[in-house]
Amino acid sequence: MTTHYLVLSALLFAIGGIGVLVRRNAIVVFMCVELMLNACNLAFVTFARQNGNVDGQVIAFFVMIVAAAEVVIGLAIIVTIFRTRRSASVDDASLLKY
């Protein structure tokens, strides 16, 4: 019965995706991206179980490492723009247009 896990993973991915589109705070947007990556991990582990090989589990580890590196870069960038603008809202940063 791996279907439930796949549905859960799709739901998490959708929640993350919608969050990226509707939330304003850059940190929250970033958290939603991380939620999407974790949804991918759940899908990988479930498919590993379904396919009967461990590739998916190994990939999940790689994804965690990549996500950690992404957090470092992302927070650095967001903190820098917060210090400049005193705001982390993605709506405020709107000098580059059209």
Partner 1 sequence: MITAPTIEYFALAPLLIIFGAAIIGVLVEAFAPRYLRRAIHVPLTLLSLVGAFALVILQTVRGVPTTPAAMGSVAVDGPTLFIWGTILVLSFVSILLINDEEQFVPSAAAVPGSAEEEKAISEGAAHTEVYPLALFAIGGMLLFPASNDLLIMFVALEVMSLPLYLLCGLARRRRLLSQEASVKYFLLGAFSSAFFLYGTALLYGFAGTVDLYGISRALATAGGTETLLLVGTAMLGVGLLFKIGAAPFQAWKPDVYQGAPTPITALMASGTLVAAFGAVLRVFWVALGNDSWNWQPIMWGVAALTMVVGSILAITQTDIKRMLAYSSIAHAGFLLVGVMAVGDKGQNALALSGLLFYLVTYGITTVGAFAVVTLVRDPGGEAWHLSRWAGLGKRSPKLAGLFAFFLLAFAGIPLTSGFFGKYAVFRSAVALGEGWLTGLVVLAVVASAAAAFFYVRVIVLMFFSDPSADGPTVVTPSWATSAVVGFSAFATVALGVFPQPVLDLAEKAAKSLFVQ
Query: Which residues form the interface with partner 1 (CB under 8 A)?
Result: 6, 9, 13, 16-17, 20, 26, 29-30, 33, 36-37, 39-40, 43-44, 46-47, 50-53, 55-56, 59, 62-63, 66, 69-70, 73-74, 76-78, 80-81, 83-85, 90, 93-96, 98
Is the Cβ of residue 4 or residue 52 nearer to partner 1 in the bound state?
52
User: How many CB atoms neighbour CB 12 within 10 A?
Assistant: 19
Shortest CB 54 distance to partner 1, Å? 12
Q: Give the rounded distance of the alpha carbon of 89 from its chain centre.
A: 18
The Cα–Cα gap between 72 and 91 comes to 23
Smallest distance from partner 1 to CB 86, Å = 10
User: How far apart are alpha carbons 57 and 69 in whole angstroms?
Assistant: 19
Residues in the chain: 98
